Structure 1
Amino acid sequence: MKKVLLLITAVCCVVAVCAQDFTAIKGKVKDQWLSQVKLFKTVDGTPVVCAVSRVEADGSFGFLVKPEKPGFYVIGEDERMNFPVYVKGGEEINIELQENKANLIGKNTRENVQLYKWVEYAYHVWLKSVFFDRVFSTYEDFFPDFEKFVAGLSELKAGLKSGNKEFDALLREWIDYATDYYAVVFLQTPRSKHPKVSDRPEYYKQIINSKKFADERVLDFPNGITMLRLYSIFAVNEKDVNPADKALYEQTCLEAIPSDRLRGEFVVSRFFSEYRTYEEYLDGMKRFEKYWLSPSLKARAEAVGTKLYKTRAGGVAADFTYPDVNGKQVSLSDFKGKVVLIDVWATWCAPCRGEIPHLKKLEEEMKGMDVIFLGVSVDEARNKQKWLDFIEQEKLGGIQVFASGWSKITKDYKINGIPRFIVIDRKGNVVSFDAPRPSNPALKKMLEGALGK
């Protein structure tokens, strides 16, 4: 009996510990204006959907979320109409969603109580500024409201005390950025009347400041990237720079942002979003290379190229970079001036293994010619040692690199099955995206033809 009691106690303790990691977000949708509610987590200053809850007949909905770290989430209809909550893990959040508004109800954390003092205070300015398509407003009514709003900010911020000093500091910083955002977005959205510079409140004169966006804290805010983008555009507009002068426009945009990491975020969200050709993308990757200061930022930049890349013979080959057997980073572009045969394969792929004897024979026959045999393994990262052992056992030649799964090369070249052989000419252009296999004599003829050009 004692053993059973001890077991039950142990299980209860484990459940209690696990429950401490999860946050329960519960609420009601008033007047049935939503059929589902979305929960967004903040990823690099952007809201990303992490869960969707159906709204029941009585208006109730709920989420159980395990946050990786304390931070801001938003909840609501979409990326625009949503409402913030601060999630730590192990707490309960109760909220009511109205069509254009949210209120806390029932039990809530001290952080969210303070957060909603700000949400309530900013409500009318937020609605008029951001939702021009829902609320009719011109500068004639917005500017007086905004001046009253600004006048009370110091008192509001002084009274925000949750007992969590880190949260309180973060919230005050968000308020400062949000105030700039409301001022700027009002000017940059469609209105029936537009103010002259002389009509603006004094606050507009202090928006541009070299101390703003000096670090990455803005990426903790759900709309941080939008704030960053509009701030930089506002700075350029204040200098009356003509967007047609592309070089000057880009330079002025980036000069407004002190942080190189945030410059990279701006480049991807603003400049890269306007690219319409793969050639523009390649030029952008080269010009802004120094700003790819995080793996996620570089991946988002590369994703633009993947969308723009057209798999056609004669087109420029999409570059890629992977580590070889010694850990050295090897890029396709390293071999410009030579013909390259790319072999996309994996140790688990039987047809790939079946081509190995033919590939070795072809490599021997073309020894001394300007042909690079580049093997790209799409084995998963956990199987890297298996890949290394296989190369040694099979005595594979050429240059072997490890792609850690179905990564950039498979996305760019639209590879859905392996083996896949690709031939690249001396100029770095594609001869064939789906070349014959080494067991087919046509591949050797294709390589010889590329060498002759």
Structure 2
Amino acid sequence: MRWDFNLLFMLLVLAFAGTGCQNGNVPETRVTFTKSVDGDIYFQPEEKSGYEKVMPDSLGNRVLKLDLKEPGYYRYVSTKQVFYPVYLTPGSRVEIVEDADGVTFKGDHAAENTFLAENAFIGVSADGVDSYSAEWLKMNGEGVERVIGKLRESGLPREFVRQQELKYRYGFYNQLLEGPALMAMFMNKNVRLPDDYYDFLKDLKFDDPLITRVPKWFQTMLAAFERMEKEGMLEVSPDNFMEIYGKRIEDEKVRSLFLVNLLDFTLQKGYSDQFPNYMMSVRRLITDSMAVAQLPVIEARYQAAWEANEAILRGMPAPEFKAVDVKGKEYSSSDFKGKVQVLDFWFTGCVPCRAEMPYMEKLADELEGLPIVFVSMSLDTGNELVGLWKQMVKDKKGAEYHLNVPDGFKSTLAKSYLIRAVPRIVIIDKEGKIVDAYAKRPSDPKLKMQLEQLIKE
């Protein structure tokens, strides 16, 4: 058979063009901002905290160029401080227009973004309805289904509908999982939850790869697994929890990316001697190519963390400490010799620290009488903060010791443990050697199991 040269050349060009697209040569995404009203505007990925102001270029134009690999969500904050979710895809051209009448969308995905602006779902309470009560659950559960019903009937592109439905549902799951704790932390209000409050977790599946495009998808999934542990729906294991989580995830992509994010999150919280074991237990469950490509970077970060923390690795002698109680009585490490020590570093201005305190107090009471001691180590300094600390702990009762570390974060003790953020839990064995310099928080049932195992050794 005789090939025409021009035809052959054309086929080769098409073949290479196709290969180029597969390698990710996608046009940049452009977002143009047009406004005729005064005031600052902001735009950033929806899951990102803080605000990124949109500034004009030298010609006065406001244009952002983004390198997107897959569809995702951003947040536009108007001059009137109104929040708008914005859906973008690789190579799309979107214009956000703000004038005296409000905000409108033009260009690609104008219909999708208009729908989002008109159908935002935020769980709210009506007059006389307590947040997270049975009535609140019914009211907001129906609200979620109502907006999803409108989404399905909108005639918008099928993939967007699938992804946005997941966003509505996972946004609601996130509120159910995090809301009560946030109310306790920031409003000092403990809510009483219905007995069936967490029943939605029993049938929760992670079987759609579009989950990974939903803002805060990882945080929501992790909170779900940790709540399943607390509710007895999932096996609790300090050593194998990552593998247990992974086996609960049905979709390959979701499972792989979740586990890579979990490994990364573990390193963010601090060094862990168990990290190589965690990696080994989940490596075979990480099969998606995008996730596999991230493993060498994570391993390099672990090596750097190991080198930075080599003085406080498992088995190293624990730094000696001296601290005082509210009456000025001094305690030192030697006072607790022969017992497992759980040191809880915190300071009065730390909201997450205060949220963990009831869990630590409960844990100390539950393990009272065993060869273990719980020591609350305040890092407050200065007369005002130390006075506030004394006021907070003076009437505390239970098995936990409440001490203050002189010089706080600047103390030799804090520097020895590389404490730059709190809460921070440190476990020391009966021989005075470090077991875990970055232990889990007391609200995590895996900490209690770890301590029970350690006491038996």
TM-score, normalised to structure 2, is 0.46
TM-score, normalised to structure 1, is 0.46
Which structure's CA Rg is the greater one?
1
